[in-house]
Structure 1
Amino acid sequence: MDLTEALSGITCPLITPFEDDSSRIDDAAFTDLIDHLLEAGIDGVFPCGTTGEFASLSREEHSRVVELAVERVDGEVPVLAGAAATSVHDAVAHAETAAELGADAAVITPPYFHTANAPEGNQQFVEQVADRSPLPILLYNIPVCTGQRMEPETLAAVATHENVIGLKDSSGDLEYFLSVRRNTPDEFLMLQGYDALLVPALRMGADGGVNALSNVAPEQYTELHATFDDSRGEELQDAIVPLFDACASYGFGPATKTALEYHDVIPSDAVRPPLVEVPDEGREAIGEAVDGLLESGD
């Protein structure tokens, strides 16, 4: 599998379905979700990311989610396994487990809680993980969760590492995204993670997207990627925005699960603390936004 080519499309950062009381992962719902995505032509899957509530999973659950994804995908599309951690040792351990389970790449953020006191700290962290990882590394910039961004200069420095393949940027800062793109090699994948900026980013040279709402509307996302440069792409982008805004209000994990439950893809929208389910007043707005997005594909 040519990983760079395979990821130049839409990759779905998978939710992790739980049973109603959230005490257990719902294996059947998870594999049904992947079926829903593969049937729609999604280009890759990303278990154990932010939308997948990785920080609320035990180590055993984290491995189980990756294992389920690899087994169900069965080589049809690449599996990018979340490997975010606050230490080099733990990030490498996640990558090693993912490799043993058959994943194609590992995804890391800069360390959270203990953030870098100088840009060189994040550079050293990435390089040390990449040196030791048995899998290619995709970097993940999400400053709202990590408390810091990966500076363009840092990314330019690590982009030449043979084991670093690209960046998922969920900052929502298009100027930042373009700055990174200008200062990294052409083969360094630039993937837009902020759904509301997907069409602008693709028009400015992004390779693809890693988008939470592709869980809900994978057909629309794959069509958007194919039509981003014409009016159809703009229509689909406009249809995404109301649901994206609802997710921004209620949190991407909870709101995406509510949308999937509304769409009868999963049986429960249960989440784990500190997340809470979408309140009743938000469910109607999410349902209307889902209907509008899905109708845009007709």
Structure 2
Amino acid sequence: MTSIDGSFSGVLCPIVTPLADGEVDEETLSSLTEFILDGGVDGLFPCGTTGEFASLAPEQRERVIGTVAEAAGDAPVIAGAAGTSVPETLRRIEEAESAGADAAAIVGPYFHTANGPEGTQRFFEAIAEESALPLYLYNIPMYVGDDVDAETVGTLAEHDAVRGMKDTSGDLSYFLSVDRHTPEEFVLMQGFDTLLVPALRMGSNGGVHALANVIPEVFAELLKSANDERGAELQREAIAPLFELCVEHGFAPATKAALVHRDVIPSDEVKPPLVELDEDAKADIADAVDRALER
């Protein structure tokens, strides 16, 4: 099993799920995994938000994780295992383990949208007690309803199974608060592409970034130059314009359109309720990709 611990420093890619007539295109998924790793990205995060996990059938999730894990070789694989109940989440973790994942990422119980810190802590603790894999918390308040309280993260970090967190709040103050409440070995990863440089400069282990699907070589260079002006330039001029388009049009559709433009995947097909982008949006994304690669 690949270890992702306090010594980890890098970028994981929440890989898209290539589709063909509604089914997982495993051949393309395998080649996409290789493209991302060859571009200098450090690991994979299948069945995340950008991977359309919420629209995949259970057997499709297993095929996605298994395909990525096989193609990833020694690179770490953290599989999304989000669920709204403890038993459902544990079942998804077991599926991820069987498929070859090294760890699992879990979110708070979404839909309720008013989870108190105590209830969220109890939810995560119940999962941690039975988890078949090391766990990474996934803070994504726009879909869950609220942040995982920083003090709660600190308490959960004391559990042997809880190794780190991906924060997609977009709130750097919150991110730094979590950093203060957790031990040095706790792996803290930034989830907002446009906050990677400031997070790295403030001690983040790295990030989990959708655009690493499309421009992995830019992220690899950024990691090497995060503390100088080149890193800030790449963040500002290459990543930010593409990220803004992803926010506007949706991460899975926009990322797939960008990958089609780069001839990495053959189709930008997405699962309902998502829809493919119109031609104007695709043209904007293609232009932003080309400009990012010229930086």
TM-score (norm 1): 0.96
The structural deviation recorded for 1:62 is: 0.6
Aligned residue in 2 for 1:254: 253
Shift of 1:102: 1.9
Structure 2 equivalent of residue 84 of structure 1: 82
**Is the contact made by 1:6 and 1:44 (CA closer than 8 Å) also made in structure 2?**
no
Residue pair 1:98, 1:106 contacting (<8 A) in 2 also: yes
Question: Letter of the aligned partner of 2:60 in structure 1?
Answer: E
What secondary structure, in the 3-state scheme, does the structure 2 residue paired with 1:16 have?
coil
2:275 aligned residue:
276
Which stretches in structure 2 are left out of the alignment for 5+ residues? Answer: none
What secondary structure sits across from 1:11 in the alignment? Answer: strand
Matched, 1:237 2:235: yes
In structure 1, the gaps of 5 or more residues are: none
1:1-298 pair list within 5 angstroms: 1-4=2-5, 7-19=8-20, 21=21, 23-74=22-73, 76-238=74-236, 239-296=238-295
- Compared CA separation, residues 151 and 187, structure 1 to 2 (3 A): same
Q: Is the 8 A contact 2:102 2:133 kept in 1?
A: yes
Q: Deviations over 1:204-230 (max 9, x none)?
A: 111101000000011110111111000
- Measured at CA, do residues 260 and 47 of structure 1 come closer, stay the same or move farther in structure 2, by a change above 3 Å? same
| Deviation of the 1:156 alpha carbon | 1.2
Displacement after TM superposition at 1:232 (Å): 1.1
Asked whether the equivalents of residues 115 and 146 of structure 2 are also in contact (C-alpha less than 8 Å), the reply is no
- CA–CA separation in structure 2 for the residues paired with 1:212 and 1:240: 10
The CA deviation string for residues 237-293 of structure 1, in whole angstroms up to 9 with x for no partner, is: 011111000001000111000000011100000111111111222111101110011
Shift of residue 6 of structure 1?
7.0
Q: Secondary structure at the match of 1:98?
A: helix
**Number of aligned pairs?**
293
Q: 2:102, 2:134 within 8 Å by CA — same for their partners in 1?
A: yes
Cα separation, 2, equivalents of 1:203 and 1:108:
26
1:110-167 deviation per Cα after TM superposition (whole angstroms, max 9, x unaligned) = 0111245421011011111111011100010111122222111211110111110111
Contact preservation (8 Å) 1:130, 1:164: yes
The 8 Å contact of residues 116 and 122 in structure 1, kept in 2 or not, is answered as no
Cα distance in 2 for residues equivalent to 1:24 and 1:117 = 34
Contact 1:247/1:255, CA 8 A, preserved across alignment = yes
Aligned CA-pair RMSD: 1.2
Would you say the 8 A contact 1:7–1:43 is kept in 2?
A: no
How far has the Cα of 1:70 moved from its partner?
1.2
Give the distance between the partners of 1:235 and 1:14, measured in 2 at CA.
25
Conserved in 1, the CA contact under 8 Å of 2:7 and 2:185? no
Contact 1:167/1:189, CA 8 A, preserved across alignment = yes
Q: Which shifted more, 110-119 or 63-72?
A: 110-119
The aligned amino acid for 1:197 is L
Q: Distance in 2 between matches of 1:290 and 1:222?
A: 16
* One-letter identity of the residue aligned with 2:177: S
Is contact 1:47-1:65 (8 Å) kept?
Answer: yes
Alpha-carbon distance, 1:7 to partner: 4.1
In the alignment, the residues of structure 2 paired with residue 220 and residue 66 of structure 1 have an alpha-carbon distance, to the nearest angstrom, of 25
Of the structure 1 ranges 208-217 and 90-99, higher mean CA displacement relative to structure 2 is found in: 90-99
CA distance in 2, matches of 1:92, 1:163: 13
| 1:181-221 deviation per Cα after TM superposition (whole angstroms, max 9, x unaligned) | 01111111110010011101111111101000000011110
